[in-house]
Amino acid sequence: MDAASWVAFALALLVALAVPGPDLVLVLHSATRGIRTGVMTAAGIMTGLMLHASLAIAGATALLLSAPGVLSAIQLLGAGVLLWMGTNMFRASQNTGESETAASQSSAGYFRGFITNATNPKALLFFAAILPQFIGNGEDMKMRTLALCATIVLGSGAWWLGTIALVRGIGLQKLPSADRIITLVGGIALFLIGAGLLVNTAYGLIT
């Protein structure tokens, strides 16, 4: 792969990362709770991307999406996950009891990051629709796939670490009631994204 193609792919990845979505909501929320929690959430997201990358390298992504109803099933699963997480975050914002320990926050952040990204149709479609445009054909196709998948995982990790550093640098975590407000807003955002995905998927199935 020449440098121009790699730069074009990196720009496409940057655009995809910059579009607000569930991953951003989770990273912003976790970053205000602590650097460790934020990093663990980002690690969970990267693990989800590794799963998508493994499917792409094995050639299973296109095969998976070619099966009737699979994409719709993944979209419904993703919607369910977002609705569940959004509801839990909303409830947590109303809880005035003892806060979670740093260890439990970190482990929960990792799980949320992984499950959200692993079931995110946006991530799956990026690997299925955008990635193949830059792989091309030829004997070194496997190596190009590996290189581009590594770019996605490492580039995403750098993006989320930068986001965490920005949140901590601004000092959002120091604001009064910041955790409760961000948890509330994040829960509502995840719920609305999940509801929108559910309605859009259901509409596509009945039309």
Tens digit of pLDDT for each residue in 39-85? Answer: 999 999 999 999 999 988 888 777 777 777 877 888 899 899 999 99
Q: What percent of the chain has pLDDT over 70?
A: 95
Q: Which domain holds residue 114?
A: 3-206
Q: What percent of the chain has pLDDT over 90?
A: 39
Stretch among 114-123, 131-140, 159-168, 180-189 having the lowest mean pLDDT: 131-140
CB 34 within 8 A of CB 102: yes
Cα 89 from Cα 95, distance rounded (Å): 10
Exposure of 187 in the CB half-sphere (CA atoms within 13 A): 15
Q: Is the dihedral of CA 37, 51, 151, 86 positive or negative?
A: negative
Instruction: Count how many domains the chain has.
Output: 1
Position with higher pLDDT, 138 vs 78: 78
**pLDDT(141) > 90:** no
Number of residues that make up the chain: 207
How many Å separate Cα 125 from the centre of its chain?
12
Q: Which helix (H) or strand (E) holds 64?
A: helix 60-66
pLDDT of residue 100: 63
**pLDDT(34) > 90:** no
